[in-house]
Structure 1
Amino acid sequence: SIATDIIEQLSGPILVRMIHTRDGSRIGVLCVKHGTAK
């Protein structure tokens, strides 16, 4: 799905930089919630 594709693109070095902001932490939670074991 589209959400899965976006989460896969965001999970990586970019997420590590964004996680220190309020919006980035929300994205991080979504990545963990909707992501796979990889």
Structure 2
Amino acid sequence: YPLRIIRPADGIPSYEYEPNRLTLVLSEAGQIVDAAWD
């Protein structure tokens, strides 16, 4: 499965729907603060 990692400085350039992608949102410390299957 594709994995998308979003770090605080990255932002989200686009939000294309992909049903098999796991998205992780990381904190400044590198900890996972949110995760979702698109």
| Bigger helix fraction | 1
Give 1 or 2 for the bigger CA radius of gyration: 2
Larger RCO: 1 or 2 (CA < 8 Å, sep 6+)? 1
Q: TM-score range by the shorter chain?
A: under 0.3
| Bigger strand fraction | 2
